């Protein structure tokens, strides 16, 4: 784990940074000395986090799947804290449906937010890193990018795509001082999981405890992953000491998936 303030002078941008895993990552990066831009679809959500640490955190709003909004948000980020050294692609959505009930709208939504959003944000940040000959890109994927899960074909396809993009780009920029990795959480205590639990309760009549047990059953440790645990893995990958770690997909899931 990086020592305190080891990212001093670095500018990190975290998408989906207003709550859950993204907020935990932003706080860890600030603690390590970085200036952090948090990007979210809703400005009020990311601004609430920025208000906690106004000198170190800047909030911008954009839909990561909209190229024009991404460009404008990244320019605003540079105007505040300068060139971007670290990009954490954390923004994402997860919706479930049986395969034959997965329509084109759901399919395209899962790919646009989870995969195209990571592509657009990476294209926006990468020139700064190439010019500096130093950079860290961390894509928050999912164990769904490493394994298959029933009823989330579109989400699995998108997260597998994120991991494929991670590996390809890691090779492309390997000699430029830039690393590209993915962190793949299992079921994590976030708002997305709360929505999934509520969905199970509504569709099956199970209690909250029974629905929660369904999500923890696949974790050999018998528990949910915590956002800070994912943030710890991201922080490690952003450190100078992780310069030889690239093209990797690191599962943070209590042993549910082993690669």
Write the DSSP symbol of residue 144: G
Token representation of residue 22: 């993204």
- Distance CA(193)–CA(122), nearest Å, equals 26
Helix axes 67-81, 117-132, angle to 10 degrees: 40
Provide the annotated active-site residues. 155
35 Cβ contact list (under 8 Å, min separation 6): 10, 11, 12, 56, 57, 58, 80, 81
Contact at 8 Å (CB) between 114 and 64? no
SS3 232: helix
User: In the β-sheet with 135-140, what is the strand arrangement from edge to edge?
Assistant: 57-61, 35-40, 11-15, 86-89, 135-140, 178-185, 249-252
């Amino acid at each position: 784990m990086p020592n305190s303030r080891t990212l001093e002078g670095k500018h990190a941008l975290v998408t989906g940074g207003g709550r859950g895993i993204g907020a935990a990552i932003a706080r860890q990066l600030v603690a390590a000395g970085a200036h952090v831009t948090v990007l979210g679809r809703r400005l009020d959500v990311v601004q609430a986090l920025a208000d906690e640490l106004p000198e170190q955190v800047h909030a911008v709003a954009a839909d990561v799947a909209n190229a024009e909004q991404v460009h404008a948000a990244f320019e605003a980020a540079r105007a505040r804290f300068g060139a971007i050294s670290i990009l954490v692609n954390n923004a994402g959505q997860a919706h479930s449906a049986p395969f034959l009930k997965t329509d084109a709208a759901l399919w395209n939504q899962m790919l646009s937010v989870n995969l195209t959003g990571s592509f657009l944000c990476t294209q926006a940040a990468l020139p700064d890193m190439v010019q500096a000959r130093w950079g860290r890109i961390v894509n928050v994927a999912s164990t769904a990018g490493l394994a298959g899960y029933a009823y989330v074909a579109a989400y699995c396809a998108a997260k597998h795509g994120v991991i494929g993009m991670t590996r390809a780009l890691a090779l492309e920029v390997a000699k430029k001082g830039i690393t590209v990795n993915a962190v793949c959480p299992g079921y994590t205590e976030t708002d997305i999981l709360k929505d999934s639990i509520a969905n199970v309760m509504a569709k099956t009549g199970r209690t909250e405890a029974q629905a929660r047990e369904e999500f923890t059953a696949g974790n050999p440790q018998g528990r949910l992953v915590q956002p800070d645990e994912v943030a710890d893995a991201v922080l490690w990958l952003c450190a100078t000491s992780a310069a030889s770690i690239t093209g990797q997909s690191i599962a943070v899931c209590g042993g549910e998936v082993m690669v």
